[in-house]
Amino acid sequence: MKKTSVWKDDAEASHYSPLQTDLNVDVAIIGGGITGITAGYLLAHAGKSVAVLEALQIGGGTTGFSTGNLYAVVDERLYILQAKFDTDTIHDVAASRTAAIQQVENIIRGFSIDCDFHRTPFRLISETEDDTSTLQREYQACLEAGLEAYIDTMAPVPFYISAALRIEDQAQFNPMQYVKALATHIQGTGCAIFEHSKVVSIKEGSPNILYTENGSVTAENIIHATHSPKGIMAVHGLLGPYREYVLAARLNSGDYPEGICWVLNKPHHYSTRTYTSKSGENYLLVLGEPHKVGQKEANEACFDSLEAYLRTRFDIKSVEYRWSAQHYKAADSLPYIGALHPKSSVYIATGFAADGLTYGTLAAMIISDLILGIKNPWSKVYAPYRHNPLKTAGRFIKENANVFAQYLKDIPYHADVETVSSIVPGEGKTVEIEGEKFAAYRDESAELHLISAVCTHMKCIVNWNEEAKSWDCPCHGSRFTVDGQVIEGPAIANLPKKETNNLP
């Protein structure tokens, strides 16, 4: 079984040079996922000079580890959004997301991008009579949001259903192939792309300056297309980071289900889809088992639960790929897209939940319109500075109580182990040495990797992620390698290393 996403095998490797000079552009974009690359395309196409700085490789963040579904509804359900806001808001959400899917299709057709894009139905399925009322509520909200929706008593799945909500004309693609191909078309057309160019500090002002290790970019506008914006911002108090798991399996029969299929299950749903690879192999993907980042021990077991779920419903032959990734839920369930405040030249795009291939595209559309001075019909709905404390309150209190609990958990500090000698190969544990908190990982060759356990973002203590072999911050979702390098999340600085001589 491969421990990576199924998309990677079908996407061309990208080879953009790192930034090694100082540049001056109209717009600097941090992050080369679907948000950053789409924004790069739209802005360069409109005549702006653009630089995209990507820490890893294009599509190497969450975009390349998603499930490649594009749909107008939302993970949190439209009827819940309607109850928090109103019918106009869900109308805007459905219309803006439909426009973003069309944007993806236009780009694909315009550049003849080969990424298995196809229109397909979306289904929300209930397996029990109990869940049928949830389905009915979502159906009603879909109609009020202007979507053409249907209720069926059958669906193309090999298990019993009580009802299914169906929306035609949604879409699926290989997200990694898409962003990598789009990047090749925009490179050099007013847009310069740099890989392995991590932004290590940001100076906001007029102009803004982004620094990487070997060069800087001075820009009138900067876009944080990093999934969670970098540095300390008020918006981090409004975001809940969640990790989720995916399996890609082969079936004994050739009966792979068509379309995007979400099956209601408490407390969340499972999402399945079929992917046909370039070599013609079919895979059934399943996504689920979400939990707060850094707050689940023994998280390898999430894959076992996913597999058990699949095996009770499909005739599974083998599991071929598995991967995990994270997303960020917004306090009021609407993403934060746009300038930090009405006069700011710093733009953010975050809080997409697991709906961000569409929201990321929409963010690129809204932000590029804002920069170009074009009126966008949806910019107000998603503005980061919108004030709706009542709508935000529920999850804001829950997420911040959760963050606060993470801080309290460490007072007084309880390290996982007292001595590093008790850590066996493959294991990561926290340890206290001379009053300081460390994260210690012993690799398979018994070498110890010792770094500070204090997150460089807001000083929470990181926890071991046994599945991804990383140190994850349970407060705002920053993740670090065993040697302390930032992988993702709001942190900018790495966790400092500690000498491993004379340890307890």
Ligand X SMILES: Cc1cc2nc3c(=O)[nH]c(=O)nc-3n(C[C@H](O)[C@H](O)[C@H](O)COP(=O)(O)OP(=O)(O)OC[C@H]3O[C@@H](n4cnc5c(N)ncnc54)[C@H](O)[C@@H]3O)c2cc1C
CA distances from residue 433 to 265, 339, 452, 458 in whole angstroms, order as listed? 44, 43, 10, 21
- Nearest CB to ligand X, comparing residues 430 and 478: 478
From 27-35, 100-108, 117-125, 438-446, span contacting ligand X (CB under 6 A): 27-35
Tell me the C-alpha distance between 320 and 325, whole Å. 17
Q: Are 490 and 457 in contact (CB under 8 A)?
A: yes
Which member of 26, 54, 195, 369 binds ligand X (CB under 6 A)?
54
406 part of the interface to ligand X, by CB under 6 A: no
- Nearest CB to ligand X, comparing residues 61 and 477: 61
- Residues, the chain, total? 504
- Nearest CB to ligand X, comparing residues 3 and 414: 3
Q: Which residue is nearest to ligand X (CB)?
A: 356
From 116-124, 347-355, 403-411, 415-423, span contacting ligand X (CB under 6 A): 347-355
- Nearest CB to ligand X, comparing residues 370 and 440: 370
Which member of 27, 28, 51, 53 binds ligand X (CB under 6 A)?
53
- Nearest CB to ligand X, comparing residues 18 and 207: 18
Tell me the C-alpha distance between 67 and 87, whole Å. 29
Residues 183-242 that bind ligand X (CB under 6 A): 198-199, 225-227, 230
CA distances from residue 2 to 244, 246, 306, 321, 427 in whole angstroms, order as listed? 17, 12, 16, 5, 21
- Nearest CB to ligand X, comparing residues 161 and 246: 246
From 25-33, 80-88, 158-166, 474-482, span contacting ligand X (CB under 6 A): 25-33
- Nearest CB to ligand X, comparing residues 351 and 428: 351
Strands (E), 16-162: 22-30, 50-53, 69-70, 118-126, 149-152
- Nearest CB to ligand X, comparing residues 80 and 433: 80
74 part of the interface to ligand X, by CB under 6 A: no
Tell me the C-alpha distance between 149 and 167, whole Å. 5
Closest CA to 38 of 316, 333, 365: 365
What are the beta bridge partners of residue 321?
Answer: 2, 248
455 part of the interface to ligand X, by CB under 6 A: no
Tell me the C-alpha distance between 469 and 374, whole Å. 45
Which member of 93, 145, 164, 246 binds ligand X (CB under 6 A)?
246
Question: What is the smallest separation between the CB atom of 277 and ligand X, expressed in angstroms?
Answer: 17
31 part of the interface to ligand X, by CB under 6 A: yes
Q: Are 205 and 288 in contact (CB under 8 A)?
A: no
- Nearest CB to ligand X, comparing residues 85 and 323: 323
From 185-193, 355-363, 372-380, 472-480, span contacting ligand X (CB under 6 A): 355-363
Which member of 63, 333, 392, 456 binds ligand X (CB under 6 A)?
63
Count residues near ligand X (CB under 6 A): 41
Question: What is the smallest separation between the CB atom of 173 and ligand X, expressed in angstroms?
Answer: 10
Contacts of 185 (CB under 8 A, 6+ apart): 41, 111, 113
61 part of the interface to ligand X, by CB under 6 A: yes
Q: Which amino acid is at 76?
A: E
457 part of the interface to ligand X, by CB under 6 A: no
Tell me the C-alpha distance between 148 and 211, whole Å. 48
120 part of the interface to ligand X, by CB under 6 A: no
Tell me the C-alpha distance between 58 and 56, whole Å. 7
Residues 285-344 that bind ligand X (CB under 6 A): 287, 325-327
Question: What is the smallest separation between the CB atom of 98 and ligand X, expressed in angstroms?
Answer: 13
Tell me the C-alpha distance between 156 and 258, whole Å. 7
Closest CA to 289 of 245, 230, 225, 348: 245
Closest CA to 176 of 275, 73, 318, 42: 275
Query: Using CB under 6 A as the criterion, which residues of the chain lie in contact with ligand X when the complex forms?
Result: 30-36, 53-56, 60-63, 65-69, 198-199, 225-227, 230, 244, 246, 287, 325-327, 349, 352, 354-358, 360, 488
